[in-house]
């Protein structure tokens, strides 16, 4: 497995930072876009991107905050884009998908997406608007109606029961996808909170652990989620 920091042309034409990881067997593989949490493209997202590649996928994690201007403003604009369901971040995901499809190790006809926290919300909504084979959303926002999910591909979801802000959204995702008869695997982990797949540190991470989301890494929930990703992606995206 190889992982490198690269740049690719964003929707505005400027170069956007990303982490890119591929299996090192020389064969063509499906591609997976990895969408970061609110913390942005950091070492933990690079770790996750590398693990996706270890499963047999070419994985690209774009830095959606890598745009001109103050970083806090970039974060705010990205969050507003998610709330609106349209805007620059979705255009940049289109640019990331196009770049990924052109890479020699990638089977351009088989692209999926996986996202975490803010990225989980983007992954789900991007799966509505883009021709993807599979989507995985972990502790991300979920629309309120089936109309907002019309056209979505098969979805895997993971949420923590201790997360008082997002656990109910996992329940809603299960309900909506069942009503739509869309292939899915949604699981709510009783002993986990928010960000149970991620290993974040620092002041914001500490606040997250103490707050209502109870955000912290949970080994059992994380490893079970990786097993579910292996099975669900193999069924709907292939290897």
Give the model confidence (pLDDT) of 201-225 as tens digits: 665 666 666 678 888 999 999 999 9
Cα–Cα distance between 218 and 233 in angstroms, integer?
22
Query: Looking at the predicted structure, is the pLDDT value of residue 104 above 70?
Result: yes
Predicted confidence (pLDDT) per residue in 136-183, tens digit:
999 999 999 999 999 999 999 999 999 999 999 999 999 999 999 999
Q: Domain range spanning residue 147?
A: 2-236
Supply the CATH number for residue 146's domain: 3.40.50.1820
At 1, the pLDDT band (50, 70, 90 cuts) reads confident
pLDDT value of residue 38:
87
Global confidence as pTM: 0.94
Q: Is 85 exposed, middle or buried (0-12, 13-18, 19+ CB in 10 A)?
A: middle
Please give the span between the terminal C-alpha atoms of the chain, in angstroms, as a whole number.
15
pLDDT value of residue 202:
64
Determine which helix (DSSP H) or strand (DSSP E) holds 90, and give its type and residue range. Answer: helix 88-101
Query: Looking at the predicted structure, is the pLDDT value of residue 71 above 80?
Result: no
Query: Looking at the predicted structure, is the pLDDT value of residue 128 above 80?
Result: yes
Number of domains comprising the chain? 1
């Amino acid at each position: 497995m190889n992982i490198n920091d690269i740049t690719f042309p964003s929707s505005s034409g400027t170069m956007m930072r990303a982490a890119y990881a591929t299996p090192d067997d020389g064969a063509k593989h499906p591609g997976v876009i990895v969408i970061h949490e609110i913390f942005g493209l950091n070492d933990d997202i690079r770790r996750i991107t590398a693990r996706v590649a270890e499963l047999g996928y070419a994985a690209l994690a774009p830095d959606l905050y890598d745009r001109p201007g103050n970083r806090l403003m970039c974060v705010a604009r990205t969050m507003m884009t998610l709330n609106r369901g349209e805007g620059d971040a979705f255009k940049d995901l289109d640019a990331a998908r196009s770049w990924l499809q052109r890479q020699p190790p990638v089977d351009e006809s088989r692209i999926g997406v996986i996202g975490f926290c803010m990225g989980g919300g983007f992954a789900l909504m991007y799966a509505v608007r883009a021709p993807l084979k599979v989507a995985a959303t972990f502790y991300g926002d979920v629309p309120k109606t089936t109309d907002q999910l019309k056209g979505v591909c098969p979805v895997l979801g993971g949420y923590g029961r201790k997360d008082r802000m997002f656990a109910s959204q996992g329940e809603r995702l299960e309900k909506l996808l069942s009503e739509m008869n869309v292939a899915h695997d949604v699981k709510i982990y009783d002993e986990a909170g928010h960000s149970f797949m991620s290993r974040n540190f620092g002041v914001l991470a500490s606040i997250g652990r103490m707050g209502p989301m109870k955000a912290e890494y949970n080994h059992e929930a994380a490893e079970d989620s990786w097993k579910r990703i292996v099975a669900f992606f193999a069924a709907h995206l292939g290897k």
